[in-house]
Structure 1
Amino acid sequence: MDLHEKDMLAFARTWQPYGGNDDQILPEFGISEPTFYQRVLALLARPRTVGLGDEERKALITFCMAKLREYGYPQRDRPGMTRQRAIRHS
């Protein structure tokens, strides 16, 4: 994980118990709130995200997915992964 990714994960870990601090995501990271939560989910999907136990990882995944639903994003099968869409050729 690079420093930016560690900062994103630390931010999510700090604010998760309080329901987030979405107003600070854009000024802090320069990305939208949904993009932030998608990226945190991608970090959590990595086999070894430093310093996280299974329970904390699961809580953060649940938190990020709930935040994405608040922003109108559908629930995904696997955190941090996008579904492949079938491409129709006519």
Structure 2
Amino acid sequence: MDSSGLDLVASSLLSLSVLFGVLLGAMFLLRRLRATAWGRRNAGPSPIKIIASRAMGGQNTLVIAEVEGQRFLLGVSRGGIARIGQVGGDE
């Protein structure tokens, strides 16, 4: 190979490494922005709040969720979500 061929290979490798660096930088910035308010689609407050959760073993979890001022005990498993009862009030 002559020197012009080596220059072409070196230039191509440099271009690829710069492009790779730009892509890595963009991925880093997108991950950082996703956690900010700018990265959220719905900036308003959610009507559903998770008050507490407790793992019960396996893939089963108990969750206390609040919706419009009412609290509910939910069972969450691989098979789905079930309302167990209302917390702090009569059903």
TM-score normalised per structure 1: 0.23
| Rg comparison, structure with higher value | 2
Structure with larger RCO (C-alpha < 8 A, sep 6+):
1
Point out the structure with the larger strand share: 2
TM-score normalised per structure 2: 0.22
Point out the structure with the larger helix share: 1
